[in-house]
Amino acid sequence: MSESADALIHPIILCGGSGTRLWPASRESMPKQFTPLVDPKTSTFQATAQRLGDTGVFARPTVLTSSDARFIVAEQLQQAGIQADIILEPERRDSAAAVAVATLHAARRDPESVVLIMAADHVIGDTPAFVAAARAAAAGARAGAIMTLGITPTAPATGYGYIRVGAALSGGAGNHAVERFVEKPDHDGALRLIDEGALWNSGYFLFRADVMLAELEAHAPEILAATRAALDAAVTDLDFVRLDADAFGRAPKTSIDYAVMERTRHAGVRPVSFPWSDVGTWDAVWA
């Protein structure tokens, strides 16, 4: 079923990071998201972009990546037959700055557009289930929540953060408030969290652009100001949008989890059970 044009989800693929835990296959010159770790013909970045193929649900994607990776991104998108906007970060400032840039970029088209933040290096085993979950979470986002997809745990993993699930939200059946985000636990702590019904924090976020901008203004105004200046002074270079380096470098380096998600009163979660991994270690790749 198609969405109306103004209800499309605007996906943003965060394509930074070096994935050095998977050295030597993943390294600074060829980070893991560009490497065919799981599928012999397709990188996880390409698979992420292909997951957005339903043009009745998703708008044209935007990719945030480093200047060094710009031609790899462009080539892999072309190989996959996908068109996208590509924004270049002058340096790594962690996910809060990246989300701020992505949100400002989307808000220029429509301040109330629903934005989907995605990692380029995750593996999802069921694309239709992912699309259905994104659509369901988008209903919560349109109602004003900052939604995340919470993965039903399959093991007491100590490498993931967890989410305690709160009361049901009015925006979309099956969406809930976040009671609390929990830092990566030890093994016994993970077992207790799973027994209590907690979910893995996937790092996928859906929100209305105006809602996220208001939360950034309230909780991380320096990041918002720096990234707005970087986007305002950006230049177009071939098919790339190059952020202003001086302005972007003024953004404090921190995660979106710490800057906003652990502080906002609008955090929501959509429990999902599709196969998912951030393939952060060789053990995860093997699994």
Burial readout 97-122 (b: 16 or more C-beta within 10 A, e: otherwise): bbbbbbbbbbbeeeeebbbbbbbbbb
d(CA 113, CA 207): 8
What pLDDT, in 10s, does the model give residues 226-263? 999 999 999 998 889 999 999 999 999 999 999 999 99
d(CA 109, CA 132): 24
- Find out whether 200 and 245 touch, Cβ atoms under 8 Å: no
**Percent of the chain residues topping a pLDDT of 70:** 88
Round the average pLDDT of the chain to a whole number and report it.
89
Q: What is the mean pLDDT of residues 2-7?
A: 55
Q: What's the Cα-to-Cα distance from 276 to each of 62, 204, 236, 272, 273, rounded to whole Å?
A: 22, 11, 35, 10, 8
pLDDT value at residue 286: 41
What pLDDT, in 10s, does the model give residues 53-104? 999 999 999 999 999 899 999 999 999 999 999 999 999 999 999 999 999 9
pLDDT value at residue 100: 98
How many CB atoms are closer than 10 A to CB 44? 26
Strands (E), 136-218: 146-151, 162-168, 176-182, 199-208
**Between residues 1 and 124, the one the model is more confident about:** 124
pLDDT value at residue 41: 83
Backbone angles phi, psi at 133, to 5 degrees: -65, -40
Q: Is the predicted pLDDT of residue 38 greater than 70, yes or no?
A: no
Q: Is the predicted pLDDT of residue 5 greater than 50, yes or no?
A: no
pLDDT value at residue 39: 64
d(CA 165, CA 86): 35
d(CA 223, CA 3): 33
What pLDDT, in 10s, does the model give residues 163-210? 999 999 988 789 999 999 999 999 999 999 999 999 999 999 999 999
Q: Is the predicted pLDDT of residue 284 greater than 70, yes or no?
A: no
Amino acid symbol at 206: L
Q: Is the predicted pLDDT of residue 281 greater than 70, yes or no?
A: no
- Find out whether 103 and 113 touch, Cβ atoms under 8 Å: no
Q: Is the predicted pLDDT of residue 25 greater than 70, yes or no?
A: no
Q: Is the predicted pLDDT of residue 19 greater than 50, yes or no?
A: no
d(CA 250, CA 264): 23
* The model's pTM: 0.90
Paired residues of 269 in beta bridges? 148, 176
pLDDT band at 37 (very low <50, low <70, confident <90, very high): low
Question: Token digits for 89?
Answer: 């970060």
CATH 3.90.550.10 fits 5-144+201-259, yes or no: yes
Q: What residue ranges do the domains of the chain occupy?
A: 5-144+201-259
d(CA 103, CA 111): 9
- Find out whether 58 and 8 touch, Cβ atoms under 8 Å: yes
Dihedral Cα 217, 267, 48, 200, nearest 10 deg = 130
